[in-house]
Amino acid sequence: MSALLSTANLTIALESGEAPVSIVRGLNLTLNAGETLGIVGESGSGKSMTALALMGLIPSAMRASGSLRFEGQELLPYDEARMTRLRGARIAMIFQEPMTALNPVHRIGRQIAEGLMLHEGTGEAAALAEAARLLDRVGISQAAERLGAYPHELSGGQRQRVMIAMALACRPELLIADEPTSALDVTVQAQLLELIRDVVAERTMALIIISHDLGVVAELAERTIVLYGGAVMEEGPTRALFTAPHHPYTRGLIAALPGRGRRRGRLTAIAGSVPPPHLMAAGCPFHGRCKYSGEDCRVMMPPVTQLGQSLVHCHREEAIH
């Protein structure tokens, strides 16, 4: 069975004057139908750009190279007509800010029905009926009446639910969620994560959940990729990744978390900060902050080592064991 989505050496670079500046470098990922994948990273990791690349929505100043295959079809270089057919219909995305992702001057029923009418040619009445069913599924009470509501009449959590309904309308194979709960209160977040998990399982959709919050990714993803400075540091089954991390960055990240159950004492901080993309070295992006780094780390991208079920991208043997 071929993978639903796969990338090989996906690189997204800003074509600036002197040398192209990479935002994402050499990303290889594989996702089968019905699988859930998490992408974890801090700012500057390239995680949002990756999400946009999968949808063909990268800014015009950026260039994507390498291979990006969806359902066996190569998507690069982007063909706008082909991408438009995929977006909403086969691949759907939900964003962080529901207020800006929903059009404030259109009623929500209309916004949900639009996808159906566009991609499947459904008539307005039938599409609205389906929209009501979807609203009900995502937990909006009195769905039929709420069809006529405007986005500003709903709370943040409700707007996110509407976004999820919009994403599900055409029954896509893949759902990409980019920081879907970061703008919400933590109690609302919990409910929304549960909704996403249920809906994805119910429709056997593949899910890519992108977040800076490790907990969110742990809730939803079976496997996780850890990104730093545009490159993969470590990838593997989520539970193993977080309980027994190998890569120095992943270890550092987890040690830096003020945990439930870990009180007081100092947090193990990772010294320094993420270098901006145009100052990134040719080698491992983490080398400037890694206590094991050496000259080869600075000039060469690290090789991949398999440890258990995880893949670790690191030069130093002693660092990862």
Partner 1 sequence: MTVPLVEARGLTRRYPLKRKGLLGPRLVLTAVDDVSFSLMAGRSLGIVGESGSGKSTLARLVMALEQPDAGSVSFNGENLAGLSGAALRDRRRQFQMVFQDPFSSLDPRMTVSHVVAEPLEVAEPTLTRSARRDKVAAMLAAVSLPDEALDRYPHEFSGGQRQRIALARALVTGPRLVVADEPVSALDVSVQAQVLNLMADLKEARGLTYLFISHNLAVVEHVADDVLVLYRGRVVEQGETADVFDNPAHPYTRALVDSVPGIDAAGARERIRLKDGGRHAGAGCGFAGRCPFAAERCRIEVPALKDHNGRKVACHLVG
Partner 2 sequence: MAGGVAAAPRAGRSPWRHPSFVIGGAIVGCIVVVALVSLVWTPWPATKMNIPHKLLGPSAEHWLGTDHFGRDVASMLMVGARNSLAVGFVAVGIGMLFGVTLGTLSAAKSGTWLDEAIMRSADFTFAFPAVLSAVMITALLGPGVVNAIIAIGIYNIPVFARLTRSGALQVWAKDFTLAARAAGKTTVQITLRHVIPNIGGLIIVQGTVQFATAILAEAGLSYLGLGTQPPNPSWGRMLFEAQTYMQRQPLLAVFPGLSIALAVLGCNLLGDGLRDIFDPRVARSRA
Which residues contribute to the site for partner 1 (CB under 8 A)?
A: 42-43, 139, 141, 155, 185-187, 189-191, 193-194, 197, 212-216, 218-219, 239, 242-243, 252-254, 256-260, 262-264, 266-271, 273-274
Interface region with partner 2, contact rule CB under 8 A, candidates 67-75, 99-107, 242-250, 265-273: 265-273
Q: How far is CA 240 from the centre of its chain?
A: 20
Contact of residue 268 among partner 2, partner 1, none (CB under 5-8 Å per partner type): partner 1
Nearest CB to partner 1, comparing residues 60 and 187? 187
Quote the CA–CA distance of 133 and 228 in Å, as a whole number: 40
Contact of residue 2 among partner 2, partner 1, none (CB under 5-8 Å per partner type): none
Quote the CA–CA distance of 54 and 310 in Å, as a whole number: 23
Contact of residue 262 among partner 1, partner 2, none (CB under 5-8 Å per partner type): partner 1
Length, in residues, of the chain? 321
Quote the CA–CA distance of 80 and 243 in Å, as a whole number: 42
Q: Is 59 a binder of partner 2 (CB under 8 A)?
A: no
CB–CB of 78/64 below 8 Å?
A: yes
Among 278, 295, 299, 308, binds partner 2 (CB under 8 A): 278
Q: Is 276 a binder of partner 2 (CB under 8 A)?
A: yes
Interface region with partner 2, contact rule CB under 8 A, candidates 31-39, 93-101, 244-252, 267-275: 267-275
Report how many residues bind partner 2 under the rule CB under 8 A: 9
Quote the CA–CA distance of 180 and 288 in Å, as a whole number: 31
Of 219, 217, 175, 173, residue with least CA distance to 194: 219
Among 58, 138, 214, 274, binds partner 2 (CB under 8 A): 274
Residues contacting residue 302 through CB under 8 Å, at least 6 positions apart: 283, 284, 313, 314, 315
